[in-house]
Amino acid sequence: MEQLREEIRRHDRLYYEEATPVISDREYDRLYKELVNLETQFPDLVTPDSPTQRVGGKPLKAFEQVPHLVPMLSLDNTYSEEEVKNFYARIQRLLPDEKIPVVIEPKVDGVAVSLIYENGRLRQAATRGDGTVGDDITQNIRTIRSVPERLRGAAPKLLEARGEVYMDKHGFEKLNDERRKAGLPLFANPRNAAAGSLKQLDPTIVAKRPLGVVLYGTGATEGVDLDVHSEVFPLLKKLGLAATERWWVAKSVEEILDAIHELDGIRHNFAYQTDGAVVKVNSFAQRERLGFTAKSPRWAIAYKYEAERVETRLNDIVIQVGRTGILTPVAMLEPVSRCWSAEARLGARRCITRMKSNAKTFASAIQWLLKKLAKSSPLLSKLLNRNDRVARSRSILPNTFMASALCVAARFAETRIL
């Protein structure tokens, strides 16, 4: 039975960590079912680290709060390459006459977690929380097959591995398709789906979600002898952990920006969402001297890429009545995937301000669009002619008029928005 468990663990490692499966899904399922049947016949031989035990335990009433051994601080972030240059110039001023190599790695858009292994066995998993205390999500993490119960080889006495739990992008689409067919609300994006999954008190629900983990650093350690951050990735992989798959070492601002640009060109090929690049000083000794601010380390910064833009179609404008009687126009859009986020509704005012037109302001965008479309719609032309008189008399709300006009516009022309 233990031999069968080891075989399944090996296939888990090949599939989830190395992306080189050697058997089909059907063959894997056969092995897994065989182990389930054996453990059903001989329940006394079931072990806590068996692959079958990843389906989760009993539901929790609430998450226990656990302190972090080392604070999990957030990073300063920027959307400006100029600020990246300023960051590197700043650490050069703080460490004059020193060479300061930095590591550039993907900024994973997931849920920050800490995994603590003691003598090679997973003891605790926690969320970032407020940076000092987080939720104990050990039961939920155990359901993720890419998280090993035991480290491979000669494991250190203590290893706190830090990274992000994510939902596989293709798994996210499949999950939303299943929820759509079941009439359930769709998840907005993979990051929110992953966060919602980890907050489930019932680990059997988490086990059904296509979650993975990617690790990129360490917290508290004992028996780990590392001098630079770039040595962390091969160590994690050697121990059987899923580590960041692509990273760069740079020794100048030019090399940093080149790495950021190169990452932007390949990041959509990863299984997980990314929204930026993280720049970290490579040397742990230099990090120690650079220190921290109240909220973040001085030796790292996150550069965030520009938000992705996509086109869709404005299908309709509907009026929503609030509890206080306020009427709000809501744009009904053709569903699109933007950064793997399904969007189908948008406030009408926000919608118009994003319109692909030569209008420079919101007001001129409304006027430009309606006058252009009025040529093909007598009804819309009539509404426009009454606009000034209606607005002055306040017989209907401006929002209502706008929504009515846009409803007509949407029905008489194909309006594309950004």
Summarised one tens digit per residue, pLDDT across range 347-363 is: 444 444 444 333 344 44
H, E, C per residue of the chain: CHHHHHHHHHHHHHHHHCCCCCCCHHHHHHHHHHHHHHHHHCHHHCCCCCHHHHHCCCCCCCCCEEECCCCCCCCCEECCHHHHHHHHHHHHHHCCCCCCCEEEEEEECCEEEEEEEECCEEEEEEECCCCCEEEECHHHHCCCCCCCCECCCCCCCEEEEEEEEEECHHHHHHHHHHHHHCCCCCCCCHHHHHHHHHCCCCHHHHCCCCEEEEEEEEEEEECCCCCEHHHHHHHHHHCCCCECCCCEEECCHHHHHHHHHHHHHHHHHCCCCEEEEEEEECEHHHHHHHCECCCCECCEEEEECCCCCCCEEEEEEEEEECCCCCEEEEEEEEEEECCCCEEEEEEHHHHHHCECCCCCCHHHHHHHHHHHHHCCCHHHHHHHHHHHHHHHHCCCCHHHHHHHHHHHHHHHCCCEEC
Cα 85 from Cα 305, distance rounded (Å)? 16
pLDDT band at 189 (very low <50, low <70, confident <90, very high): confident
Residue 364, pLDDT > 70, answer no
Q: Which tens digits make up the pLDDT trace of 305-357?
A: 987 666 778 887 777 777 677 767 777 777 665 544 545 444 444 444 444 33
More confident residue, 372 or 19: 372
Q: Which domains does the chain have, with CATH numbers?
A: 1-48 (1.10.287.610), 74-304 (3.30.470.30), 312-417 (no CATH)
Longest CA pairwise span in the chain (Å): 84
Q: Which range has the worst mean pLDDT, 254-263, 287-296, 376-385?
A: 376-385
Query: Is 360 a residue of the active site?
Result: no
Mean pLDDT of the chain: 81
pLDDT band at 56 (very low <50, low <70, confident <90, very high): very low
Q: Which range has the worst mean pLDDT, 47-51, 172-176, 180-184, 280-284?
A: 47-51
Residue 160, pLDDT > 90, answer yes
Which member of 33, 85, 99, 107 is catalytic?
Answer: 107
Tell me the mean pLDDT in the region 385-392: 51
Is the overall model pTM greater than 0.75, yes or no? no
More confident residue, 101 or 360: 101
